[in-house]
Amino acid sequence: MLGLATKEAIKVALAFTSAIVLALLFGWEKPYWAAITVVTLAANESYSHSIQAAQNRIMGTIVGASIAIAMIAFFAQERMLFIGTFILLAGISTVMSYDRKHGYFVRITFIVCTLICFMGSFDDITSVNMIFLRLQETLLGVVMFSLVYRFVWPINSEVNFYAQHNSITEQLTELVAELTDCLNGKKEVSIDQLLAHQANLVKMTESIKSQSLILDLPSAGSYQLSHQRKQWKLLTIASYETIERLTQWLEQAKSIVGNADANPEVIKVSLLQAVSNEDSLIQLNEKLMQSASMVTRIQVAKDYLLSTSTRIDKNSKTFTDINVTLTWQELVKQWDIALPLSLRIKDGLIVMAALATSFALWIYTPLPNGYMFPMLSAVMAVNLSALPKFIVNEALVGICIFGALVTLEYVFIMPSFTEVWHLAMFYFVNIVVIWRLCAAPQLALQKVIGANLLVVLTMSALHLTPSFDITVSLNMLVQVFMAIAVVRFFVGVFKEG
């Protein structure tokens, strides 16, 4: 049996390769755009997240192309005015890209605007052709990704969501039962145990955040979940508030146990005996009973939802008995701790400074490949400025490793290809290897870098009339390094942490 990571790698490789082959069969000039779309969608944490990213990518392509046409129409003959406007647009896009819901749309809008402005060579006809080609390639990538992920080892986001909720409810039930025994004197408790329970509650909170945000995403075939969305939001809020209530209970119990444990040799104490007065005992008992009652109601409501696929009676006592203090919008806003405006503006200024430096290098030094360097700098700056310093360093390491490996393959393997299926097999095997080796969550950035470099450094082989020139790949690799180096310099100097 194949593991989950291996299946995922095969699905990505299949969609990636299919997008390239179909683009070549259609006679499109830049098949790697469709392949990069597949990589971007596959990097999301669930199929529902990928569908939302696909929608944002298509809309961002349209809006970004419109902005590019406007800039070309107004500033084609004014070099400095175009550069100044473009740098200002980059700064504004960076500030807006921190929005949880629309941030990806803003980044894609700026990236597409950058590609059309530079690759269109300020020519109206070329730019319009580039826009239609970009939109075609994006749609092809989205379609191939959707088809593969729907029919090849499909993973239903609904199933994962239900499993996560079941796990949270079971853990809360067990925790409430254990704390009840501790309060009744049936079990002794230590500070370490209480700290462990608090750490477990933190993990539950993070799990709820990551899985429950799927309720704001497209249903993607989750028909039952789409009909019961409002009820599951209610249960999510109730679970979150129960976790918060138990966290406060553990804090109070921890202070009681800490005061009672005067003798350092005593590891565990009876919480019942440690309570100094009757009022504290009553207060602890009431809070715990309240949490236990809520967990029971959540369990009953959850079982009811899972047992039916029809529409739910909103006035059912099963749900009216669950009282919460937060609304869904308030909870999502509470989870979405946005970066302070001052720090977002600071990152925007970092991007603007990096782009101004890149344009100066491009104008006053004899860099090869024409427009490629400022275009790469703009894309890198917007994407990397929001990342911590160590992530940027990891990106440099990934570029070194994958850049060297792909260049060697480009020189020694690809010139022998004579058929399209040779090319397809080459990309399929490479994507499977990259995605499988970088399956660990901490290597998520590396697999995206590896897949992108795979097509960027071999793009000349994807032309309708393929060519194999090592200088093109080497120049591209050098300019990628230079672009990241400029961004890394300003991030290292001005960004904290």
For residue range 242-268, list pLDDT tens digits in order: 988 888 888 877 777 666 544 444 445
- CB–CB of 196/247 below 8 Å? no
CA atoms within 13 A on the CB side of 433: 11
Read off the pTM.
0.78
Interval 36-90: pLDDT, tens: 999 999 887 667 777 788 888 899 999 999 999 999 888 877 888 999 999 999 9
List, in order, residues 6 or more apart from 304 with CB less than 8 Å away.
Answer: 316, 318
- Evaluated on CA atoms 310, 312, 317, 322, the torsion sign reads positive
pLDDT digits (tens, 9 = 90+) for 225-244: 777 788 888 888 888 889 88
Q: What percent of the chain has pLDDT over 90?
A: 26
Token pair of 205 as six digits: 């909170």
pLDDT tens per residue across span 84-108: 999 999 999 999 988 877 888 999 9
Mean pLDDT of the residues in the chain: 83
Give the per-residue pLDDT at 139. 94
- pLDDT the model gives residue 460: 85
6 or 272, greater pLDDT: 6
Is the model's pLDDT at 190 over the cut of 80? no
Euclidean distance between CA atoms 13 and 18, whole angstroms:
8
Instruction: Please say whether the beta carbons of 119 and 371 come within 8 A.
Output: yes
Model confidence over 337-365: pLDDT tens digits? 667 888 889 999 999 999 999 999 998 88
What is the reported pLDDT for 259?
60
Q: Which of 271, 103, 291, 297 is nearest to 187 (CA)?
A: 271
What is the identity of the amino acid at 377? S
Asked if the model's pLDDT at residue 179 lies above 90, the reply is no
Q: Give dist(CA 82, CA 72) in Å, integer.
A: 8
pLDDT for residue 441:
77
Q: Which of 427, 374, 405 has the alpha carbon at shortest distance from 34?
A: 427
Q: Is the per-residue pLDDT at 456 higher than 70?
A: yes
**Four-residue CA torsion sign, 230, 236, 239, 243:** negative
Q: With 70 as the cut, is the pLDDT of residue 275 above it?
A: no
Q: Is the pLDDT of residue 276 over 60?
A: no
Q: What angle do CA 45, 51, 52 make, to 5 degrees?
A: 85
Question: In the predicted model, what is the mean pLDDT of residues 358-374?
Answer: 85
CB of 73 closer than 8 Å to CB of 122: no
DSSP class per residue in 72-84: HHHHTT-HHHHHH
Using CB atoms within 10 A of its CB, is residue 393 exposed (0-12), middle (13-18) or buried (19+)? middle
For 213-225, write each residue's pLDDT tens digit. 677 765 555 667 7
Closest CA to 231 of 284, 296, 301: 301
User: What's the CA gap between 456 and 462, in Å, rounded?
Assistant: 10
